[in-house]
Amino acid sequence: MSHPLIDRLTTEFGWPRLATPEDVTEFVSAPGWHVVFVPGDPKRNLETADVAVILPELHMVFQRAFDCAVASDAVESAIRHETGVLKTPGLLFWRDGRFVSGIAKVRDWDDYIRRIQSILSQPAAA
């Protein structure tokens, strides 16, 4: 489902839109931290637009410590079920190809900061 604020992430910021399971695997398997934004239906969930605005701000605050991408409708359900983060909108964090954690629904700013600091401080998988 398209929305101008979600489209902005791929057009203005140049973040990839993950359209196939192979796109997801390729994106999250690269070295380092990766966030996949799972928007859900922006017409039914008004929080989706909020998170689409918040994510670029978080990306800057954390000094681009993670790459970002947007899940398309075609892969969204599979990603949600694979990670167990079923509620949308969601920010799903991978490191070196391994799912680490997710943040579902919109949060207040301080909660995002605390949660992301905690996620990024986790040691790499052995």
DSSP 3-state assignment of 126?
Answer: coil
DSSP 3-state assignment of 40?
Answer: coil
Residues contacting 39, CB < 8 A, separation 6+: 1, 3, 6, 48, 51, 52, 70, 71, 76, 88, 89
pLDDT in tens, 60-110: 999 999 999 999 999 999 999 999 999 999 999 999 999 999 999 999 999
CA–CA dist 28, 124 (Å, integer):
14
Evaluate whether the domain defined by 4-120 bears CATH number 3.40.30.10: yes
pLDDT in tens, 8-22: 999 999 999 999 999
CA–CA dist 73, 69 (Å, integer):
13
Say whether pTM exceeds 0.85: yes
DSSP 3-state assignment of 31?
Answer: coil
CA–CA dist 126, 118 (Å, integer):
18
Q: Is the peptide bond before 56 cis (omega within 30 degrees of 0)?
A: no
